[in-house]
Copies of this chain bind each other. A is one copy, B any other.
Amino acid sequence: MQSSDLLRDVVIGMSDGLTVPFALAAGLSGVVDSNAIIVIAGIAEIAAGSIAMGLGGYLAGKTELDHYKSELKREYDEVESVPEREKQEVRDFFKDIGLSKEVQEKATQEISQDKKRWVDFMMKYELGLDEPDSKRATKSALNIGLSYVAGGIIPLSPYMFLSDPATALKISVAATLLCLFVFGYFKSKVTGVSPIGGALKVTLIGALAAGAAFGVASLFE
């Protein structure tokens, strides 16, 4: 699981990093005549996007942990203060999955004999909450943020090394669509769907985003 978590983070960050800075640079390439401005705008976007994604993900992880802890406390309070109602909720779970009245009753009695077991059961199956791994959230946020930066540098590179926006745009389009295809392929492999279909979808989103950015930038020129 460890290495597939990392792969997942890298792919998420990198495919977004490839898409938005790519589209922004493409959009600007139609309306400004200096690659310097495109590079500066792209770098500003990468800084903003990676922080929003990375730090946003980190804080979302912390929030999830706080939410888990407050719900855990509430469940411990409830099995103490309204045990009959909580037992009924356990019984309802076993009823919903299709067990007979007799087995519902026995299972409920066994679960509610041990307070920790009871609360763990309620957290997971009544509320659908797994204990979040807060270290994982931090690492994941960092991986996603850094992958966004790495992804964003690819579409910007041609603008850094060439002086003409139109030429840089062509190379950026070719390089980025290729990378989007490759990352879409791995992304789909990780999530277990058809790799070629997924790769085409990811590439299509990038192309549409870049086309739209180019279109609206030209309109507003």
Interface residues in chain A, defined as those with a beta carbon under 8 Å from any beta carbon in chain B: 16, 19-20, 22-24, 27-28, 31-32, 37, 39-41, 43-49, 51-52, 55-56, 59, 63, 66-67, 70, 94, 97-100, 102-103, 106-107, 110-111, 114, 117, 121, 125, 188, 191-194, 198, 201, 205, 208-210, 212-217, 220-221
Contacts and interface: CB of A to CB of B under 8 A. Distances in A.
Nearest to A130: B128
Contact of A213 (B45, B192, B194): B45
Contact of A44 (B47, B102, B213): B213
A216 B43 contact: yes
A213 B47 contact: yes
A22 B45 CA distance: 10
Contacts of A117: 97-98
B213 A48 contact: yes
A60 to B, nearest CB: 9
A103 B107 contact: yes
24 contacts: A16-B56, A22-B48, A23-B45, A24-B44, A24-B48, A27-B40, A27-B41, A27-B48, A28-B40, A37-B37, A40-B220, A48-B209, A48-B212, A55-B208, A59-B201, A63-B198, A67-B193, A94-B107, A97-B117, A97-B121, A97-B125, A98-B111, A103-B107, A106-B106
A220 B45 contact: no
